[in-house]
């Protein structure tokens, strides 16, 4: 059935535990699944144990939000080998997330809402806390009818409780991915906020910085868009990667492995990413500093 190289668990902003997600991926017949939680690898140990039991390959991953101009640039780091080293490089990112959460809670309170970080954490398990956990709490307490409305009213960019946070730049994030032995993949490229020739120019720049792949097979994109992105990736020497961006009940319209029902990410996507990592390693060993 293929692979899914973009998923989230309770270690960040998904509703399935790592073990539950891996078990579900195995049940769907996927040959491999990547756990790519935001800013954390906390769920990977549990996922690895579950994958060993279920007989499915686990791709160790992580997703970063990057500092970039007109839109949202997210980077997936896949096939991570040195987890400790990568986390040591991301200390500022994790600290920025903590500070952001505290300020978001304060802004919600300033809007007259009875919200505490203790309540947010109680609904977020032991993983990294993010905006979906705030949204879930606002729904539970009756401040919003559902999670999309919580974002639209309070948590989306430009809304009263939105707070920026520290992010790495693209070149720094790509270098960190390579230094940890992994592959750097641009996630859902249409959120960049650029199209046509401008998107091609951005991809050219990222490719020069070492980007390995780009999501062409993305769960929320229709087949013509996926084909167009596949061709664009090839033109820039990038591996066409992909995944569902599954978050469980936080994105109920997106299903594991199949996105909105018609997604198939071929096994070749993972094989090509692995080949790109191997080729880079044969030219130059990872630099650690």
d(CA 96, CA 121): 17
The confidence score (pLDDT) of residue 163 equals 87
**Residue 230, H or E segment:** helix 223-235
What sign results for the dihedral spanned by CA atoms 40, 28, 181, 47? positive
> Do the strands 73-78 and 183-187 form a parallel or antiparallel pair, or are they unpaired?
antiparallel
Count Cα atoms within 13 angstroms, Cβ side, for 13: 21
Alpha helices in 111-183 (DSSP H): 117-122, 131-140, 147-150, 170-179
Count of beta carbons in the 10 Å neighbourhood of residue 137: 23
Give the whole-angstrom CA distance, residue 105 versus residue 253: 28
- Which of these, 42, 47, 88, 79, lies nearest to 61 by C-alpha position? 79
- At 279 the pLDDT is 92
The strand ranges marked E within the chain are 3-4, 32-35, 57-66, 73-78, 183-187, 213-218, 239-243
What is the pLDDT at residue 244? 98
How far is the C-alpha of 15 from the C-alpha of 25, rounded, in Å? Answer: 15
What is the model's pLDDT at position 93? 80
The pLDDT score that the predictor gives to residue 285 is 55
Nearest one of 236, 254, 258 to 246, comparing CA atoms:
254
Q: What is the pLDDT of residue 267?
A: 98
Q: pLDDT tens per residue, the chain (289 residues)?
A: 799 999 999 998 899 999 999 999 999 999 999 999 998 899 999 999 999 999 999 999 999 999 887 678 999 999 999 998 888 878 878 788 888 899 999 999 999 999 999 898 887 655 678 888 899 899 999 999 998 999 999 998 889 999 888 788 999 999 999 999 999 999 999 999 887 789 999 999 999 999 999 999 999 999 999 999 999 999 999 999 999 999 998 899 999 999 999 999 999 999 999 999 999 887 765 555 4
For the residues of 191-210, what is the DSSP string, one character each?
A: GGS--HHHHHHHHHHHHHTT
Q: How many CB atoms lie within 10 A of CB 171?
A: 15
**Residue in the block written with tokens 């199209």:** 195
């Amino acid at each position: 059935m293929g692979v899914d190289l973009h998923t989230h668990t309770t270690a960040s902003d998904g509703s399935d535990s790592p073990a539950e997600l891996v078990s579900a991926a195995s049940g769907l017949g996927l040959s491999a699944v990547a756990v790519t939680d935001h800013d954390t690898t906390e769920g990977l140990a549990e996922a690895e144990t579950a994958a060993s039991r279920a007989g499915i390959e686990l791709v160790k991953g992580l997703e970063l939000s990057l500092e970039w101009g007109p839109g949202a640039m997210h980077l997936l780091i896949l096939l991570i080998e040195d987890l400790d080293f990568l986390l040591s490089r991301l200390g500022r990112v994790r600290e920025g997330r903590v500070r952001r959460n505290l300020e978001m809670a304060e802004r919600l309170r300033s809007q007259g809402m009875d919200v505490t970080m203790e309540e947010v954490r109680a609904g977020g398990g032991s993983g990294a806390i993010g905006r979906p956990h705030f949204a879930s709490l606002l729904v539970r307490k009756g401040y919003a009818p559902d999670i999309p409305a919580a974002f639209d009213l309070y948590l989306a960019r430009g809304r009263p409780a939105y707070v920026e946070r520290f992010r790495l730049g693209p070149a720094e994030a790509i270098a960190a991915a390579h230094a940890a032995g992994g592959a750097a993949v641009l996630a859902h490229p249409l959120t960049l906020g650029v199209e046509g020739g401008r998107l091609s120019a951005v991809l050219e720049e990222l490719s020069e910085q070492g980007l390995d792949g780009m999501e062409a097979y993305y769960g929320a994109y229709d087949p013509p868009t996926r084909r167009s992105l596949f061709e664009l990736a090839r033109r820039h020497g990038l591996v066409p990667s992909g995944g569902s961006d599954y978050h469980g009940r936080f994105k109920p319209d997106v299903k594991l492995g199949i996105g909105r029902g018609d997604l198939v990410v071929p096994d070749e996507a993972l094989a090509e990413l692995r080949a790109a990592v191997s080729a880079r390693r044969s030219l130059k060993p990872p630099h650690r500093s």
